[in-house]
Amino acid sequence: MNIVLLGYGKMGKAIEQIAQERGHHIAGRIDISNRADLDHLADDAVDVVIEFSSPEAAVDNIRYSLERGWPVVSGTTGWLNHRADIEALCHEKNGAFFYASNYSIGVNLFFQLNKVLASFMRKYPSYRVSMTEIHHTEKKDAPSGTAITLAEGIMEHLPQKTRWVTDTPATDNEVAIESLREGTVPGTHTVRYDSDVDRIEITHTAHSRQGFALGAVIAAEWLPGRQGLFGMNDLLSSNEPVNNE
Ligand SMILES: NC(=O)C1=CN([C@@H]2O[C@H](COP(=O)(O)OP(=O)(O)OC[C@H]3O[C@@H](n4cnc5c(N)ncnc54)[C@H](O)[C@@H]3O)[C@@H](O)[C@H]2O)C=CC1
Ligand SMILES: O=C(O)C1=N[C@H](C(=O)O)C[C@H](O)C1
């Protein structure tokens, strides 16, 4: 496949390595410095765009790609207040748009575990739920997209929780998210339930960016030929075999 990397920072480079190992051709490495080069790529020279840029750049990047008729896999976080506009454009253009706040297979298993745990805890309101996410100091957005997805999973199963907040103490209706920025941490997410006598805690720790990058390349292999809006649940529940080695 011919892949354009839209955003060529830490994730763009990790994705490039895995995509090449899996036999794909990188048709463009686009960063803030050479963004105009996109205009010189022929429409049919691109099978899929993988977009990992910044919260400020993502909407324009995705819009541009959909307008060119290119399927887009995006992992950029911190722009989802514009998600409805992008989804409407995707439908208008009969395009293909794949989004995940986290492409790691392990995190997507963790999302399921988080929902199961929340459904168990529904009967035990004396447990107070909270979350901590830890990332490297270069991360621009807080809380992480993954933490927001976890909070949404909790709210789906604990009806008394109606919103997530970043200030503490949280009220009985809120899920508190604490964001810490430390060194080069690739991404650690902990969900905990505290009572006066004990604590139940689940944690996902990424050891590197490899899991995120592999998941994004798998999504990029899956998307071309499809039309509409997709996420990791569509990919993981698809009947087609997934080569995640
Ligand atoms: N969904 C997932 O699994 C993951 C998502 N992310 C998200 O991906 C995004 C990127 O993360 P990193 O690569 O670590 O950041 P980074 O800061 O290392 O790289 C971002 C790159 O985007 C470029 N960029 C900025 N404006 C641009 C524009 N207008 N057009 C093209 N490129 C532009 C920057 O020059 C930079 O090189 C962040 O939002 C992060 O939260 C990161 C890891 C996993
Ligand atoms: O910025 C990062 O690095 C990461 N961002 C994503 C997020 O905001 O959830 C995914 C991963 O945790 C790494």
Write the pLDDT tens digit of every residue in 86-141. Answer: 999 999 999 999 999 999 999 999 999 999 999 999 999 999 999 999 999 999 99
209 alpha carbon, distance to own chain's centre = 12
To test ligand 2's pocket by mutation, which of 53, 77, 104, 134 has the most ligand atoms within 8 angstroms of CB? 77
In a domain, 244, yes or no: no
Predicted pLDDT of residue 238:
80
Predicted pLDDT of residue 178:
98
Atom of ligand 2 nearest to the CA of 148: 9
Q: How far is the CA of 111 from the centre of ligand 1 (A)?
A: 22
Q: Pocket around ligand 2: residues whose beta carbon is below 6 Å from it?
A: 77, 101-102, 135, 139, 144-146, 187, 212
User: In the predicted model, is pLDDT for residue 244 greater than 90?
Assistant: no
Residue 76 tokens read as 């950029």
- 57 annotated as a binding-site residue: no
Measuring from atom 5 of ligand 2, which residue has the nearest CA? 144
What is the C-alpha separation between 224 and 49, in angstroms, rounded?
A: 10
In a domain, 242, yes or no: no
In a domain, 243, yes or no: no
Predicted pLDDT of residue 156:
97
Predicted pLDDT of residue 158:
96
Specify whether 171 is located in the same domain as 214: no
Measuring from atom 4 of ligand 2, which residue has the nearest CA? 187
Atom of ligand 2 nearest to the CA of 149: 9
Specify whether 87 is located in the same domain as 6: yes
Specify whether 95 is located in the same domain as 213: yes
pLDDT band of residue 243 (cuts 50, 70, 90) is confident
What is the C-alpha separation between 104 and 185, in angstroms, rounded?
A: 15
In a domain, 195, yes or no: yes
- 133 or 244, higher pLDDT: 133
Whether the Cβ atoms of residue 122 and residue 157 lie closer than 8 Å to each other: yes
Work out the burial of residue 93: count CB atoms within 10 Å of its CB; fewer than 13 is exposed, 13-18 middle, 19 or more buried: middle
Share of the chain above pLDDT 70, in %: 99
Note the pTM of the prediction, 2 decimals.
0.97
The catalytic residue positions are: 135, 139
Measuring from atom 28 of ligand 1, which residue has the nearest CA? 32
Predicted pLDDT of residue 169:
87
pLDDT band of residue 245 (cuts 50, 70, 90) is confident
Write the pLDDT tens digit of every residue in 34-44. Answer: 999 999 999 99
CATH number at residue 84: 3.40.50.720
ipTM of predicted assembly, 2 dp: 0.99
Predicted pLDDT of residue 84:
98
Angle of helix 145-157 relative to helix 105-121, nearest 10 degrees, comes to 30
What is the C-alpha separation between 40 and 28, in angstroms, rounded?
A: 10
Predicted pLDDT of residue 241:
66
Write the pLDDT tens digit of every residue in 132-176. Answer: 999 999 999 999 999 999 999 999 999 999 999 998 889 999 999
In a domain, 241, yes or no: no
Instruction: Summarize the confidence of residues 65-85 as an average pLDDT.
Output: 98
Residue 139 tokens read as 């991360």
Specify whether 197 is located in the same domain as 216: no
Predicted pLDDT of residue 205:
98
Can you point out the beta strands (E) in the chain?
Answer: 2-6, 25-30, 48-51, 72-74, 96-99, 128-135, 163-165, 174-181, 188-194, 199-205, 228-230
In a domain, 214, yes or no: yes
Residue 66 tokens read as 């959909």
- 187 annotated as a binding-site residue: no
Q: Which uninterrupted H or E stretch holds 20?
A: helix 10-21
The range of the structural domain enclosing residue 21 comes to: 2-103+209-236
Instruction: Summarize the confidence of residues 43-56 as an average pLDDT.
Output: 97
Specify whether 191 is located in the same domain as 220: no
User: In the predicted model, is pLDDT for residue 30 greater than 90?
Assistant: yes
In a domain, 232, yes or no: yes
Edge-first strand listing for the sheet containing 163-165? 163-165, 174-181, 128-135, 188-194, 199-205
Q: How far is the CA of 9 from the centre of ligand 1 (A)?
A: 6
Instruction: Summarize the confidence of residues 182-195 as an average pLDDT.
Output: 98
The mean of the pLDDT values for the chain is 96
